[in-house]
Structure 1
Amino acid sequence: MMNQDADRTISMQGTRIGGRLLVADNSLRPPCQRACPIQQDVRGYINLIAEGEFDEALRVIRNTNPLPSVCGLICAHPCETECRREQVDQPLAIAALKRFATEYGHDDGAEPQTGAKRAEKIVIIGSGAAGLTAAHDLAKKGYGVTIFEREAAPGGALGAFIPQYRLPREVLQRDIERIVALGVEIKTNSELGKDFTLTELKDGGYSAVVLALGLPLSRGLNISGVKLDDVLLALPFLKDAKLGVGKSLSGRRVLVIGGGNVAVDVARSALRLGAGEVHMACLEARHEMPAFSWEIEAASEEGVILHCSKGPKSILCRDTKVTGLECMEVKAVFDEEGRFNPTFYEERVSVVDTDVVIIAIGQAADLSFLKDTGIKLNQRGQLVFDPDTLATSEEGIFACGEVISGPGTAVGAMASGRQAALAADCYLRGEKMPAPQPDDSMDVGELLATTTEEIKRLERQEMPTLTLEERLSNFGQIELGYTERTAVKEAERCLRCGAGAEYLEDKCSACLTCVRICPYGAPVATIAGSIDIRADQCQSCGICVGECPARAITFRRREDDQIRERIEAAVAEASPSGAEPVVIGLCCSYGAFATSAFTKFFRNNYKPGIRIVRIPCVVKIDTSHLLKLFELGADGVFIVGCIEDDCPYQMSTFWAERRVAAVKKNLDEIGLGADRLQMYTLSDPTVEKLDEIVTEVTTQVTRLAPSPMRNRRGEA
């Protein structure tokens, strides 16, 4: 029997989180999780947000993500690119929902758990996304971990170069503090090759070294004029801006050379430092630019002027003052084999007037520390490493992140840091790195047009932002974050891909009921005369689960079993002595019902003899659940849901009302009386309306004779 706290925290993840053993999971892997470099349970935490379980959503995120606050703001969100909701209207705002969970979820009191203490000490060079992730994972395994960071504050590129308007320092610090709480020590202003050497680390008792050096150097250009005073490099420029000591560009005309994300950050930062005009010149055509499309759009909205397909030829000057950039028109950026090999129409030359040039054409690693070490470089001056173990040519030294991959995303660096942590752990245990296991989990396929036609269109919730005037006047964070109601509404849009219904072949009688009633056409009859519930088309509404006469259909995430456990617990808790009248409410947990006002209401034992069980949509309540409540001795039962137009599922109210009518008829037939069961739908749910319903139902129940099933209370 479950207690009320356990009832509230069920999240259907099939794992152990926060000390709670969650249900078995037979679901398929959704595309969002497949696309995530660190395999976040996106479906899991989004559905917890949709049900108002913000604390649990944050715990699920942190189960695989040591930098959730960072990822909520700057993640490249490849999960959104793969979101099947885009086949219906627009993809889910997954990154925004992750951010919401970090801001509204609370688990500050939960002490990070580490494995058994180990004797070995590990040092990590660099505290960017890769280094912090490696440190987190190794500390969780019980190792003593020390991070050395060359900058004055931890965070690597996250802290030094990403503008404050995208990633405020205090947000990054929240994630770092939780990693430090695991016992990780961070030493700043400590540069490898300058303040210490690899030999000194090994002599100091460190058993393994992880190089998470990042790419801290800006690449320059070999053209005339680059030595002029007003020709700057991207990373030093961004670093000064982040520290609040950026050079004023008031009224200046700035030209940024480059088309990547760093170039966009430079251009937008220049605007905030007062530039009168900001231009970007890049080799690529607009559709080829390596910067993320949403970053380019934001820059354009703020007034950055793009000059695409332009290659820098020389920086022009007059009396040592920059006057412009001479450009050649680009013929092609890549050659026939797809390699970066720009070619130009050298006779097609133009000039972009400017008085400040900032070069943002790429970053490089600082490997100057490698002299007098056994670590090898390849012909291109890059670290030689094993792609599986990330081991360098010197024993006990591993490398991860952008120093081996080149420029990439923060979440990609995190995945690399995780791989390095696993490799270092295996090395110190004297074990081989486990071979990649065949992926036995089934992936979810595409939605069919016949399915998407039946899915309700739900508008994506836009992220509120500062106005254009507000954002350009300072480095304040642009995106303001979702409100509780907006986040819940956005999370409702999740299609719960791969977590729908499955049928039990040994119970199925092939009656075709599921085929007839499914609004989405997910079940189909096969040539062999059996039923196939197509998992990639199922929308997890639960209509077929409740209507199958043979009870041959269940949820892949066992939600029907959970509902049964919840209602059994509710009856037992409502009347510990077994003598009081018991009224059980079954309430939708989506929409307004998921906001904190309702969740607080549900969690308070505000009246003896009354318990409210939250259900992920009332259509998931079937007749067996209702009859079970009366069998266990409930004197009255009420159901509260939203109106049909507010529900993400098709025909939910119709089927719920139909089941209630069937049970009311049964109650009359067995002499208990139909008045013991009521259903309500609310168009604008409020706590006050729900409280009125509770009062109305309890008043009505007290006028009825006690249920003759009271003596069954406590029996499961």
Structure 2
Amino acid sequence: MATSSDDMKTMNFRRYEEGDFEHRPWQEEIWQAGWTHKCPTYVHRTPPCQGSCPSGHDIRGWLDIVRGIEKPSGEKSWQEYAFERMTLSNPFPAIMGRVCPAPCQDGCNRNQVEDFVGINSVEHFIGNWALENGMKFTAGADTGKKVAIVGGGPGGLAAAYQLRKMGHGVTLFDEHSELGGMMRYGIPGYRTPRNVLDGEIQRIVDMGVEVKTGTRVGREVTMEQIESDYDAVVWAIGAQAGRALPIDGADADNCITGVAFLEAFNDGRLQHVTGKVIVIGGGDTSIDVASVARRLGHITVENENERPEYVVLGQTAHDVASTAKREGADVLLMSRQPVDKMNAAQHEIEDALREGVEIKGALTPVSVVKDASGRAIALKVADLDYSTGKAVVVEGSERDIECDLVVAAIGQTGDFTGIEAMGNERGLIDSDKNFQVAGKPGHFVCGDAVRPHLLTTAIGQASIACESVDHFLKNQAVGKRPKVDVHHFNLLGKLKEWNLAPEEFKRLDPEEIKKAEGFAKEIDLGQRGTSDAKFAVHNYEDRSFNDIIPSDELFLGHFTYTPRHIRDNIEVSAEEVLGHFEERLVALTEEDVVAEAKRCMSCGMCFECDNCVVYCPQDAVQKTPRGESTTGRYVFTDYSKCIGCHICADVCPTGYIQMGMGD
């Protein structure tokens, strides 16, 4: 409703008179001797760890819980509260705390002080605690809608988890005998212990997920049946087919892919290798293949069907008794990139070298050398020179390396047998930013079928895809995704948790406004324009959906040198590696986990250090009364005392205080 001309005459907060279009120079406008027109505003922004996490973890949030800054409102332990926050985005903390390459740690602002925060180690501890203490998930109220999920890997399981939380019915189809996808069939058990994996999967199934294993959509069940029986479909089929070497001779039977090799091993069929093994790659999958081959060991072939390629191709399986004859395997891992530029995690490279894997970089495969029967007997390779900035084959460097098995770990693609209509020319599925399948309403996708990447990427995509599914099932338009698309801390939600939610805004009746002598009186009655009103969160701005806070906006001088608490890693030597399938990573103790969480700088959110209170020369910044305080509302500013000196913002370690224009 427009403001009446009478009311306009009584408005008393205008900074300029009618016809006054000139303002003073900006320096004079803002600064006046010992005071300014600026005042502290509390600005919430996304920390770079979270911005770097493909699953969108509220990392700062659960680290603040572990360290004791953010507390639950009830009687929950900090471990349970941290688990609940952690699994808003990722239902596999015990697995991801072990195997995620942790791009969050690369992005951590603490790197500017001495070293990143050990985010994975804290997640590892909480994940273990949750399994040991029987933590469960709760499904939402039943909506009556049914969703089919095709694929039981990290993406499909994460989608089942998110959809059940929303209350939608879920049936999960997977062609394997067990769920887990790449977590089970693509990563060896000494990195993802099977009891841990089974526990985290069962927690999702127990939410009421119907599971149909040994069932391939496109073979046992048609796409038409799926579309007829379900209200929506989520495709999480992964990229289960490895890419073959694009060189002459790579069609030999004993040239196989890393994906097929690891699946045969994790399925229990492959129990030893024969002869020398050459692994081609440079990423984590190639390291896993080489490390598994070293553990399996080598035997001299007595029967043709003992050769590993026949096992991998599913034609036979190894007899356990034959492994008694095994010896250490001769394994070479070669990469087109120099060793120091390989994509694999540095600690994984170091472990492989210690375990006896030979690693050579700047080497390219040229062709596969076959014998008269068509078997590969050698791999022709050549050196690469990077001195020009590009890979150039060194003339005259070609040579043959004898081998009995060639394993290519150079990429993956999808298998669309029976569902050809879903695939594109790259062997993947096309989708938009909301993970809706192009041209197929009601179909959604997540995980490696979109783009082969990390497990945590599949989990993050599943969360977004499920929001799109929810909108579709409710006949709602799918809105634009935020620029910083993660699971954000919600201050209003936190206030509600502590029964501190703002009061309901009640607008005065127009007739009452007139009786109250105009618009200016409405202001006096606390309807707007005052920090005393209780219907809003004052002087708080949420920029987390658009802004990631960099290290140069923190007060780094607050943080003293504190060494990282590093998990122990059981080092396996080349002599010990044969048959060594025990877990290598040792979880931190509770004491070390809490100490490590305290190294977090809580970028973009108050962590209650008291600097602003201590250093304010006017006593304008004060602690929020105990009964009204919670995370993000630890301090407030008495603006009648504030002179805008900027000191509170200068000494704020986390960048949570920003100076904004005031009256």
Same fold (TM over 0.5): yes
Q: Displacement, 1:131?
A: 1.0
TM-score (norm 2): 0.68
Amino acid at match of 1:147: L
Correspondent of 1:149 among 163, 174, 179:
174
Q: Displacement, 1:26?
A: 5.9
User: Are 2:203 and 1:178 equivalent residues in the alignment?
Assistant: yes
Contact 1:87 1:447 in 2 (8 A): no
Note the 1:471-486 alignment, pairs <5 A.
473-486=579-592
Note the 1:580-599 alignment, pairs <5 A.
none
| SS in structure 1 of the partner of residue 604 of structure 2 | coil
Note the 1:515-534 alignment, pairs <5 A.
none
Note the 1:374-453 alignment, pairs <5 A.
375=422, 377-405=423-451, 407-437=452-482, 440-441=543-544, 442-447=547-552, 452=556
Amino acid at match of 1:432: A
Taking a change above 3 Å as real, the CA distance of residues 562 and 212 of structure 1, as seen in their structure-2 partners, is: farther
| SS in structure 1 of the partner of residue 188 of structure 2 | coil
Q: Tell me what 1:219 maps to.
A: 243
Q: Displacement, 1:561?
A: 4.3
Question: How far apart, in 1, do the equivalents of 2:428 and 2:389 lie?
Answer: 23
Question: How far apart, in 1, do the equivalents of 2:588 and 2:90 lie?
Answer: 21
| SS in structure 2 of the partner of residue 468 of structure 1 | coil
Contact 1:59 1:107 in 2 (8 A): no
Contact 1:332 1:344 in 2 (8 A): no
Q: Tell me what 2:113 maps to.
A: 88
Note the 1:245-264 alignment, pairs <5 A.
245-249=269-273, 252-264=275-287
Residues 131-183 of structure 1: CA deviation (Å, up to 9, x unaligned): 11111111111111011011110011111111111111221222211211221
TM-score (norm 1): 0.63
User: Are 2:657 and 1:552 equivalent residues in the alignment?
Assistant: no
Taking a change above 3 Å as real, the CA distance of residues 334 and 194 of structure 1, as seen in their structure-2 partners, is: farther
Q: Displacement, 1:363?
A: 1.2
User: Are 2:609 and 1:541 equivalent residues in the alignment?
Assistant: yes
Contact 1:389 1:433 in 2 (8 A): no
CA RMSD of aligned residues (A): 3.2
Q: Tell me what 1:47 maps to.
A: 64
Q: Displacement, 1:63?
A: 2.4
Taking a change above 3 Å as real, the CA distance of residues 257 and 178 of structure 1, as seen in their structure-2 partners, is: same
Question: How far apart, in 1, do the equivalents of 2:135 and 2:571 lie?
Answer: 38
Residues 485-504 of structure 1: CA deviation (Å, up to 9, x unaligned): 22222222222222338xxx
User: Are 2:216 and 1:191 equivalent residues in the alignment?
Assistant: yes
Q: Tell me what 2:55 maps to.
A: 38
Residues 367-403 of structure 1: CA deviation (Å, up to 9, x unaligned): 12234x5x4x544454333333422322322222111
Correspondent of 1:370 among 390, 407, 419:
419
Q: Displacement, 1:311?
A: 1.6
Taking a change above 3 Å as real, the CA distance of residues 333 and 421 of structure 1, as seen in their structure-2 partners, is: farther
Q: Tell me what 1:113 maps to.
A: 138
Amino acid at match of 1:258: G
Question: How far apart, in 2, do the equivalents of 1:128 and 1:138 lie?
Answer: 15
Q: Tell me what 1:458 maps to.
A: 562
Question: How far apart, in 1, do the equivalents of 2:83 and 2:355 lie?
Answer: 33
Residues 244-285 of structure 1: CA deviation (Å, up to 9, x unaligned): 3323137x4321011122111101111111243321112222
Taking a change above 3 Å as real, the CA distance of residues 106 and 408 of structure 1, as seen in their structure-2 partners, is: closer
Question: How far apart, in 1, do the equivalents of 2:124 and 2:561 lie?
Answer: 24
Taking a change above 3 Å as real, the CA distance of residues 316 and 34 of structure 1, as seen in their structure-2 partners, is: same
Percent identical among aligned pairs is: 29
Q: Tell me what 2:524 maps to.
A: none
Amino acid at match of 2:143: R
Question: How far apart, in 2, do the equivalents of 1:115 and 1:334 lie?
Answer: 58
Structure 1: 5+ residue stretches without partners? 1-24, 337-341, 502-539, 567-614, 622-649, 651-716
Q: Tell me what 1:661 maps to.
A: none
Contact 2:105 2:119 in 1 (8 A): yes
Q: Tell me what 1:330 maps to.
A: 384
Taking a change above 3 Å as real, the CA distance of residues 270 and 421 of structure 1, as seen in their structure-2 partners, is: same
Question: How far apart, in 2, do the equivalents of 1:221 and 1:402 lie?
Answer: 20
Question: How far apart, in 2, do the equivalents of 1:48 and 1:170 lie?
Answer: 27
Contact 1:49 1:101 in 2 (8 A): no
Contact 1:268 1:302 in 2 (8 A): yes
Correspondent of 1:101 among 116, 119, 126:
126
Contact 2:434 2:465 in 1 (8 A): no
Contact 2:136 2:203 in 1 (8 A): no
Contact 2:242 2:258 in 1 (8 A): yes
Q: Tell me what 1:237 maps to.
A: 261
Correspondent of 1:314 among 367, 375, 378:
367
Aligned length: 492
Q: Displacement, 1:129?
A: 1.5
Contact 1:330 1:345 in 2 (8 A): yes
Instruction: Single out whichever of 492-501 and 126-135 deviates more from structure 2.
Output: 492-501
Question: How far apart, in 2, do the equivalents of 1:267 and 1:34 lie?
Answer: 33
